[in-house]
Structure 1
Amino acid sequence: MTRSRASAPTHHPRHERRGEARLPAVAATLAAIGLYLALPQQLLVTPRYVLPALEVLLLLPLIAINPRRLTRQTRTFRVLSLSLVFLIAASNLVALGLLVDQLVHARAEDGRSLLIAALQVWLTNVIVFGLGYWELDRGGPVSRTQLPRSELPLADFRFSQDENDDAVGEVADGASKSSDWVPTLVDYLYVSVTNSTAFSPTDTMPLSSRAKLMMAVQSVAALLTSLLVIARAVSILH
């Protein structure tokens, strides 16, 4: 027998939730650091372990402040978290610039290793921009779950859930307005993947100038990587 919608469990307001889990963001950050560590030496501007060590040093206090759930936010927390994302993004964009130079001038025997490095740079690009969107949208992961909607900063992205309240019942029940839904890291990583593969927004639209600028930088970087990899792969095969 189908349960009536009137007896469905009541959704708790976001400020009564336990907050988003810390582990997914830590795993994504460590994955990006590991991909950087595995890059060829010619794509690094510092000794191999300098930037990863600095990134881990920024990550540790973030874990200490919110070890299990993201429920506490201070000015220091925001500065550290945004600095960590910026550092990973900047180092990866520098690696991309060096990769472009290497792919253009590399000898044939270097081609395969550079193609693998291009995949590493592309994956890091997906991860770090996903983390960037996650950190910035609506004040960040702590604000999104702990503050009432009336106190949230303006949204940087419009998800499909934000406009599904007038859809059929089983869709509308999961909409932002009816269920108090907010995006999590997985949602922002999905946005990052689609932007890096379609080179443009898909079902999630950027609203703010900074979101549009970030998506533009990401899509151009992904397009550049893809075009150079294809061109280099063709030259190797021939």
Structure 2
Amino acid sequence: MPSFSKRNNYRSEEQPIMIYESAPNELREFIISAATATGHDAKRVRSAICYVLRKIADSNNWSTQPVLTEAVDLIGSCKWFKVYDIIEQLYSTSDDPTAFADEVNDFFRENGIGYKLEDGQVLFRGTDNFEQTIHEAGDVLGDAGLNTAKSEINEAIKDLSRKPEADITGAVQHALACLECTAREAIGGSKDTLGALIKKNRGIIPPPLDVVVDKIWGFSSEQGRHLSEGGEPSFEEAELLVGLSASISTYLARKL
């Protein structure tokens, strides 16, 4: 049965995202509570955790409380990224995966954790504005028949979501590829690079925004395609570039 807050559409205030590449103890213990509240019994929870961690369950623990205690100990001592693998495994074995995902995502939002559980995968989550930008880009690019560009922006998000470390270079490259594909279609199928496209077709994006695209190309070329030692952009820079590429691609796709 839905809780009082869910029945009446009350939600706790979403906290600013502060946690990436970490799994606080509160999350580790909550995951077990969420799993048992949405259909898993204690042994199924332990089984999922043991599967992910490649552990053998303690045969001396067979009643509910000792099994749950064992599960808490296992998830409490594993590497941070294994916690998110466990979340995915519990989703895949849940009797009510939608309810489990709702519980997990509520916890992420209320505790400033920069991930989301979507279609069984734990993915990178940005701010509400970022999320809206990415979803809108996917819809608009798909409606325009720009499936390659849509695939590229989706791949950029997957790269930001990779564990134990985000693939920053891959995210930058895929974001640039999305923008490049869309710009090519916007001016009639040119094979030029994004930088050349903007120089030859200044009217494709109104000034001074055309300068932004030019700078994106320059940044991506330097940081994403021609990395020097220690020259990889930060996670925040990659997130910004992915968001900008998605926004500009949406603008161009709507002009087709």
TM range (shorter): under 0.3
Higher relative contact order (CA 8 A, sep 6+): 1
Larger radius of gyration: 2
Give the TM-score normalised by the residue count of structure 1: 0.27
